[in-house]
A and B are shown apart, each in its own frame.
Chain A
């Protein structure tokens, strides 16, 4: 089977890369091993943590040369960020955020976190925009969102926050199955009429507040239920992500996939790439478990397989490797040195990943594969949690690889 480009991995980086290519008319196949970590998304994409008032450029300048941003080139990043925002917009994903600096969002633990782009319905504000008096709304019986935790965190920051618990009889019924009373199940209950009734219940309790915070359990398939909820409330309001699975994340995954398919893209959702054929320094085809001896051929291959969680990287006691082809991997030391004893410290293993050159080309036994690229969390050199660059690295590396491929044509 012949394609222009084959993308291995169907998460944020795989989809953004594939959509960029498909928008230019290329015939793309995504091979994905199940759902991606996009389904656990906070509904915001980080780019880089900055000092207060600082823009991205300064923080990026301080990153080590092995960081993907440095490899891509600091000068290219503003344009790539604009491209990412455009890709999301054309997929029907409304975001807010500036191209050059962070805004703040509220985490499920009530902390404030810097971020680059947020879905329009999620919390987003600048440091000086105080929320005033806040009501944190919980849904009765829902264990993956802790309103009092959030209220107490906000309280510590000097924001006066109260909590309330609401329900509709449809959510009460879900409680029969308490352990599966999860965000996605709740989101299914909330369509037109149920939203209106819940909004009524909240409005009754939100008489004396300036701002309402709600768990992000609205709009699994489309944004409309989330938007409707906000419209029906009497006070300004926004959503805070819940524990996984993430309703906004599942929607992001679905909208990006739909966009890709509407451009003629092919998305194999449940297969494992299990080997490839290399001829003269080029990867010419890969095979997939469900398809026996079928050769999937393409001009370019993009590895967007994610990190350890997504099985893009595997670890044994003595080595870390890339399981599809055994691509060269950047990692240091023995097993004992991969972890820092303090779980909150910067963890060395998080910066391990597939080795690439400045064009994001991967290599095998030191030899560059000129038509194979790595993007996203598979890349080495970033310390995503520490520096707050997860979404940014995934998004801009994906668009950058697509640009390189398109410029060759």
Chain B
């Protein structure tokens, strides 16, 4: 599939002006040159500008800025996969194979979590793998979300007349099952049963950015087949998984998902629309009081999904909400873990970190898990997915009553 949108580029360079990486890295030629400019040359030779492609964060802020509708980020992502110059090493395999690493780590999480915190192991990962020793790894869960679901929740879901599916993603499954549990708590209180897809693989975003296009495609096909089989709404809780499933599959991997794209939706959008139309009602605890600063992750900005998060957070009477200026936190998934990128990563995030410190909230709310790791590590403020915040503040009994359960 040839994407010809690069021909719409009028060379205004606004993408480069708004690129968080170009702002901190003078060696990055910027999205205009790496993307649409380079694409012309790459028609002749795929090797053009390939040294620059590794700096792209895939944050899509270039696309959000482009006045001419050029899919700059997609062009770069595709060029990276097609160039043949990116040979993933051991580090890339480890960082990008979230399913494999998660499945291996969860059973041993009581050992692995403390070991990942040791200075010695951090130094070793730095020296041997090139994973920066200053990085904090997210902890692995004691049991996966899927296992918990099968044991404790699966059966109960059948009782609901209305059903939705849930694409949990790697983070909810291996690192933070509470996110999935909270979604089920919310949906159940509103009268919806939550089912899991027949088969779910990692969405593949990290595989795409680490040059493993073949594996990303295989996993994408599994996911699309399951989503087709579900035949109804599939909720998500991560902005990045959502963007990958909806937009990267067709734009970068060349897999047509037009028949199911609109079925895939952030749970926050689903809830917000149902609340606005009066179809479901939410009641919150009267004693829940939190100062919350909302961070618009890059992929929330690109998809505009924050317009559903803010009204929901504003529904909670005890939440005092500040909206932070939308800017990149700098981690960009696996990018910030790599030793050579650490300084860039922290430099990009500095503006956001300062704004968070100024807001001084109880929680930073965002739907992106890697933003969470980055912000928690860099500022010490606790970061929470709006789904968890809603679930924590929810008065379950009152909500059930309002929804006539």
Q: Does B173 contact A (CB under 8 A)?
A: no
Determine the distance from Cα of A35 to Cα of B301 in the docked complex, in whole angstroms.
Answer: 13
Q: Does B402 contact A (CB under 8 A)?
A: no
Inside 8 A of A270's CB, which chain B residues have their CB? 60, 63-65, 301-302, 304
How near does chain B come to A215, taking the closest CB pair, in angstroms?
15
Q: Does A42 contact B (CB under 8 A)?
A: no
Could you say which of A1, A2, A177, A288 contacts B29, with CB atoms under 8 Å apart? A177
Could you say which of A1, A245, A258 contacts B12, with CB atoms under 8 Å apart? A245
Determine the distance from Cα of A268 to Cα of B67 in the docked complex, in whole angstroms.
Answer: 14
Determine the distance from Cα of A150 to Cα of B22 in the docked complex, in whole angstroms.
Answer: 30
Could you say which of A177, A179, A288, A292 contacts B27, with CB atoms under 8 Å apart? A177
Inside 8 A of B323's CB, which chain A residues have their CB? 261
Q: Tell me how many residues of A have a C-beta within 8 Å of chain B.
A: 40
Docked-complex contact A272 and B69, CB < 8 angstroms: yes
Q: Chain A contact residues: over half helix, strand or loop, or mixed?
A: mixed
Q: Which of A182-190, A359-367, A373-381, A393-401 faces chain B? A: A182-190
Q: Which of B157-173 contact A (CB under 8 A)?
A: none
Determine the distance from Cα of A39 to Cα of B272 in the docked complex, in whole angstroms.
Answer: 33
Q: Does A294 contact B (CB under 8 A)?
A: yes
Q: With A185-B16, A292-B261, A294-B273 known to touch, is A33 a contact of B29 (CB < 8 Å)?
A: no
Determine the distance from Cα of A184 to Cα of B303 in the docked complex, in whole angstroms.
Answer: 26
Q: When each residue 241-284 of chain B gets 1 if its CB lies under 8 Å from chain A and 0 otherwise, what string results?
A: 00000000000000000000110010001001100100000000
Docked-complex contact A311 and B69, CB < 8 angstroms: yes
Docked-complex contact A244 and B12, CB < 8 angstroms: yes
Could you say which of A33, A185, A266, A294 contacts B22, with CB atoms under 8 Å apart? A185
Docked-complex contact A268 and B23, CB < 8 angstroms: no
Determine the distance from Cα of A266 to Cα of B314 in the docked complex, in whole angstroms.
Answer: 13
How near does chain B come to A113, taking the closest CB pair, in angstroms?
22
Inside 8 A of B89's CB, which chain A residues have their CB? none
Q: With A244-B12, A245-B13 known to touch, is A173 a contact of B67 (CB < 8 Å)?
A: no
Inside 8 A of B265's CB, which chain A residues have their CB? 292
Q: Does B18 contact A (CB under 8 A)?
A: yes
Docked-complex contact B67 and A33, CB < 8 angstroms: yes
Q: Does A342 contact B (CB under 8 A)?
A: no
Docked-complex contact A250 and B67, CB < 8 angstroms: no
Q: Does A174 contact B (CB under 8 A)?
A: yes
Q: Does A193 contact B (CB under 8 A)?
A: no
Inside 8 A of A245's CB, which chain B residues have their CB? 12-14, 17
Determine the distance from Cα of A2 to Cα of B278 in the docked complex, in whole angstroms.
Answer: 12
Q: Which of A159-182 contact B (CB under 8 A)?
A: 173-174, 176-177, 179-180, 182
Q: When each residue 183-216 of chain A gets 1 if its CB lies under 8 Å from chain B and 0 otherwise, what string results?
A: 0110010000000000000000000000000000
Docked-complex contact B26 and A174, CB < 8 angstroms: yes
Q: Which of B204-245 contact A (CB under 8 A)?
A: none
Q: With A1-B276, A34-B64, A35-B18 known to touch, is A182 a contact of B13 (CB < 8 Å)?
A: yes
Could you say which of A177, A250, A290 contacts B304, with CB atoms under 8 Å apart? A290
How near does chain A come to B241, taking the closest CB pair, in angstroms?
16
Determine the distance from Cα of A293 to Cα of B262 in the docked complex, in whole angstroms.
Answer: 8
Determine the distance from Cα of A188 to Cα of B65 in the docked complex, in whole angstroms.
Answer: 18
Could you say which of B16, B32, B65, B325 contacts A258, with CB atoms under 8 Å apart? B325
Determine the distance from Cα of A309 to Cα of B33 in the docked complex, in whole angstroms.
Answer: 21
Docked-complex contact A180 and B16, CB < 8 angstroms: yes
The chain A residue sitting closest to B68, CB to CB, is A34
Could you say which of B18, B28, B307 contacts A268, with CB atoms under 8 Å apart? B307
Q: Which of B275-309 contact A (CB under 8 A)?
A: 276, 301-304, 307-308
Inside 8 A of B29's CB, which chain A residues have their CB? 177, 179-180
Q: Does B375 contact A (CB under 8 A)?
A: no
Determine the distance from Cα of A270 to Cα of B307 in the docked complex, in whole angstroms.
Answer: 12
Q: Does B389 contact A (CB under 8 A)?
A: no
Q: Does A269 contact B (CB under 8 A)?
A: yes
Q: Does A44 contact B (CB under 8 A)?
A: no
Q: Does A40 contact B (CB under 8 A)?
A: yes
How near does chain B come to A221, taking the closest CB pair, in angstroms?
8
Inside 8 A of B35's CB, which chain A residues have their CB? none
Determine the distance from Cα of A292 to Cα of B270 in the docked complex, in whole angstroms.
Answer: 12
The chain B residue sitting closest to A221, CB to CB, is B351
Q: Does A285 contact B (CB under 8 A)?
A: no
Docked-complex contact B65 and A34, CB < 8 angstroms: yes
How near does chain B come to A100, taking the closest CB pair, in angstroms?
34
Docked-complex contact B16 and A184, CB < 8 angstroms: yes
Docked-complex contact A39 and B17, CB < 8 angstroms: yes
Q: Does B93 contact A (CB under 8 A)?
A: no
Docked-complex contact A180 and B22, CB < 8 angstroms: yes
Q: Does B310 contact A (CB under 8 A)?
A: yes
Could you say which of B16, B27, B65, B261 contacts A176, with CB atoms under 8 Å apart? B27
Inside 8 A of B13's CB, which chain A residues have their CB? 180, 182, 184, 244-245
Docked-complex contact B33 and A180, CB < 8 angstroms: yes
Q: Does A50 contact B (CB under 8 A)?
A: no
Q: Does B197 contact A (CB under 8 A)?
A: no
Q: Does A271 contact B (CB under 8 A)?
A: yes
Inside 8 A of B28's CB, which chain A residues have their CB? 177
Determine the distance from Cα of A39 to Cα of B325 in the docked complex, in whole angstroms.
Answer: 18
Q: When each residue 12-44 of chain A gets 1 if its CB lies under 8 Å from chain B and 0 otherwise, what string results?
A: 000000000000000001000111110110000
How near does chain A come to B258, taking the closest CB pair, in angstroms?
11
The chain A residue sitting closest to B64, CB to CB, is A270
Which of A34, A261, A294 has the largest number of chain B CB atoms within 10 A? A34
Q: Does B30 contact A (CB under 8 A)?
A: yes
Docked-complex contact A2 and B65, CB < 8 angstroms: no
Docked-complex contact A173 and B66, CB < 8 angstroms: no
Q: With A2-B276, A29-B307 known to touch, is A179 a contact of B69 (CB < 8 Å)?
A: no
Q: Does A310 contact B (CB under 8 A)?
A: yes
Docked-complex contact A288 and B262, CB < 8 angstroms: no
Minimum-distance CB pairs A-B, first 9: A184-B17, A270-B64, A292-B262, A34-B67, A268-B304, A35-B65, A34-B66, A245-B17, A35-B14
24 sampled A-B residue pairs with Cβ under 8 A: A33-B69, A34-B63, A34-B67, A35-B65, A35-B66, A39-B12, A39-B67, A176-B27, A180-B30, A182-B13, A184-B16, A185-B17, A245-B12, A258-B325, A266-B310, A269-B304, A270-B63, A270-B65, A272-B69, A290-B303, A292-B262, A292-B265, A309-B67, A311-B69
Instruction: Knowing that A177-B30, A184-B17, A185-B16 touch, tell me 5 more A-B residue pairs with CB under 8 angstroms.
Output: A185-B17, A185-B26, A269-B301, A270-B60, A270-B302
